[in-house]
């Protein structure tokens, strides 16, 4: 009986990624064919100035330049309205390489503390110019 339970558990673990690959998602430029999901804008377009008045955990999309590395995962992001710190975990880069001259689009959550506001970046992409 234990052998059968172990075999079923192994089968379930091995087949889970196959089932997950067929579930909803985004359909738009660069997306793979999927059934179901969201087909619209990528969150509210925002500016650095407007982000500072949004609520904590608000989802935003910003377009501008990363002009400086502040610390390990923290960078200074700039658009026409100002600058803000953005936290970009190494896994979020996904092979994208950018310099201060490159325009990028970042999507993430507003992270408000007592005396600071930053963006916890979930996705970054280089904008074609």
Q: Which two tokens stand for residue 97?
A: 């390489």
Q: Which two tokens stand for residue 48?
A: 């650095």
Structure confidence by residue, pLDDT tens digits, 57-97: 999 999 999 999 999 999 999 999 999 999 999 999 988 89
| Domain ranges for the chain | 48-126
Fold of 48-126: OB fold (Dihydrolipoamide Acetyltransferase, E2P) (2.40.50)
Q: What is the pTM of this model?
A: 0.66
Smallest Cα–Cα separation from 111: which of 65, 48, 33, 58? 58
């Amino acid at each position: 009986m234990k052998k059968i339970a172990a075999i079923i558990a192994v089968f379930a673990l091995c087949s889970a990624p196959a089932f997950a690959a067929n579930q909803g998602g985004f359909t738009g430029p660069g997306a793979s064919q999927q059934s179901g999901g969201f087909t619209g804008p990528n969150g509210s377009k925002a500016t650095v100035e407007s982000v500072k008045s949004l609520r904590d955990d608000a989802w935003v999309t910003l377009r501008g330049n990363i002009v400086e590395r502040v610390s390990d995962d923290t960078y200074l992001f700039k658009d026409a309205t100002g600058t803000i710190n953005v936290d970009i975990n190494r896994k979020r880069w996904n092979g994208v390489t950018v310099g201060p001259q490159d325009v990028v689009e970042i999507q993430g959550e507003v992270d408000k503390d007592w005396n600071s506001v930053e963006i916890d970046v979930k996705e970054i992409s280089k904008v074609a110019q």
